[in-house]
A and B are shown apart, each in its own frame.
Chain A
Amino acid sequence: MERAAGALIKNAFWEPGAERLSPKRIREIQSERLRGLVRRVYEGSAFYRRLLRDRGIGPGSIRSTDDLERLPFTTKDDLRDNYPFGILSVPLSKVVRIHTSSGTTGNPTVVAYTRRDLEIWSNCIARCLTMTGVTPEDIFQVILGYGLFTGGLGFHYGAELIGAKVVPSSTGGTKRQVKLMRDFGVTAFTSIPSYALYLGETAIEMGIDPRKDLRIRTMSCGAEPWSEGTREKLEELFGCMVFNSYGLSEVGGPGVAFECIEQDGLHVWSDHFLVEVVDPRTGEGLPPGEEGELVITTLTREAMPLIRYRTRDIAMILEGDACGCGRAHTRISWIKGRTDDMIKVRGVNVFPSQIEHALMRMPEVGNNYQIVVERRGHLDELKVRIEVTGGAFKGELKDLVDLRGRISSELENLLGLRLTVELVEPGSLPRVEGKASRVLDRRSR
């Protein structure tokens, strides 16, 4: 993989003291902060006081991270049920910002911040950006929604804190985004990955070569499921390194975890967030290297700290404390999918993102697909329906039969499951928006 601008990116630290903590020191800080956290939520949040009392846990019961599993989980439903301010651990008078996440089902989720929460948030983002090469010299375009969505403002404040020249272009108006990028000589940007791809393609349509006519040195993407395949496409398209960004509004937004220049997992800022992986079905803790649901405890948030929040994101903690970048902050894998999307077929976990990844490398098909699971007799049958788009269609049946064979063997190798591939006409599959599921499970439950 050619990385034209890769060499320009240097490993740098925004808060060297905190970022270079030893593994031992990180654990000490986590234990110390966890003790403080339990005390704070016990005193400040009626919701948590009740929850902890029910478990027989007092404000002084938790002594170190070893006691973590004694603490109850917090779920998205808890947040919804306590809408809007029932979960806060400080009086509303201390709150200076309120965001919400989309409420597609029932109440939205409220995210509140004190002034110090905003400072820590901005510093976390500043760490992420500095770690991936953003400096005060950079012109940084924030191509994420501003407003209630935490993405836009989160990156805005972080980039501004570094001293970069921030262009708050938000989303939409793609040609204008590209024009600004070229006219201002933008050197770094953040966006959701699918939109970044679209920006690059639009630039080409406008006669602007993203590699030559734009000056992007470093880019970060997140906020929707994506894959290494998409990353490779983006790096090729823009000729720069692209970094994976992870966060979720419930625990404060982006800036929870970010890739460093090693591109070998995402560092979770472990002095602020304590991450665990549990079995999504039983809630039992899983060791590093095993995939499960990410559970996050916010160690320093004041307004709305969360204890063992079930993110519903599937990933694993990577083994080993040492990273080439010099940070011992826990590394997690890319998010493989959502617990809501995960399907078990003949005992194997299947995620739509795995299929997406494989299809990315097949120019003959678009990226609209659907996974259908049916039960025939006693056996689950997996079918992947894929739209055939115009680009590489030559009009010959043989090519399509070959294509179907290639996709089947690729997917079977990847998933370790026998499956059927069905090629369908463009437009015949339902369009899914953003994070919606692409799975049609027809097994009777």
Chain B
Amino acid sequence: MEIRKQVSVFVENKPGRLSRVLEVLRGGGISVEAFMIADAGEFGIIHLLLSDPKRGKALLVDNSFTVSESDVMALRSVDQDSLFKLSTELGRNGVNIQYAYGAVAQNHSLVMKVSDPRKGEEILKGILPA
């Protein structure tokens, strides 16, 4: 489990936008460990967990995307049991899971945007394998 920087990109909801984002990242040799698309009609946001968030963000900005960065919790090997445990513990301690998404690469299995990542980390340290 670690706290990582998630990169969020504002995109119009139309074919080819994700591919364009991935193309820019790939061009810079940056790999995508996890991602999610959230949409609100004609626009949406792509959340990305990147191998190098700082450079990834800069690359996207250079390609005139509107981009922002925030802290998320990245967890390894989450199964149904641990998912139940972690959501119960976070809930009991008042840490809200705003959204979560699964990973595409080996080293993480779940990415969660929570209201307080540091506190979330403290809570989960005891119940999940590192």
Measured CB to CB, the residues of A under 8 A from B are: 388-390, 393-397, 400-401, 404, 422-428
Contact = CB atoms under 8 A, between A and B. Distances in A.
Nearest to B38: A397
6 contacts: A388-B66, A396-B8, A397-B40, A400-B45, A424-B43, A425-B11
> Nearest 8 pairs between A and B by C-beta?
A395-B8, A395-B68, A427-B64, A397-B38, A393-B68, A401-B40, A393-B66, A423-B43
B45 to A, nearest CB: 5
If over half of A's interface residues share one DSSP class (helix, strand or loop), that class is named, otherwise mixed; here it is: loop
A395 B69 contact: yes
B10 A425 contact: yes
B68 A425 contact: no
B45 A394 contact: no
B interface, size bucket: 20 to 34
A395 B67 CA distance: 7
Given A393-B10, A394-B68, A395-B68, A422 B38 contact: no
B13 to A, nearest CB: 10
Contacts of A393: 10, 66-68
Among A397, A424, A427, find the residue whose CB has the most chain B CB atoms closer than 10 A: A397
B93 interface: no
A390 B67 contact: yes
Interface string B58-93: 000100111111100000000000000000000000
A390 B47 contact: no
A394 B7 CA distance: 10
A393 B11 CA distance: 12
A220 to B, nearest CB: 34
A388 B10 contact: yes
A345 B61 CA distance: 37
B85 to A, nearest CB: 27
Nearest to A391: B66
B44 interface: yes
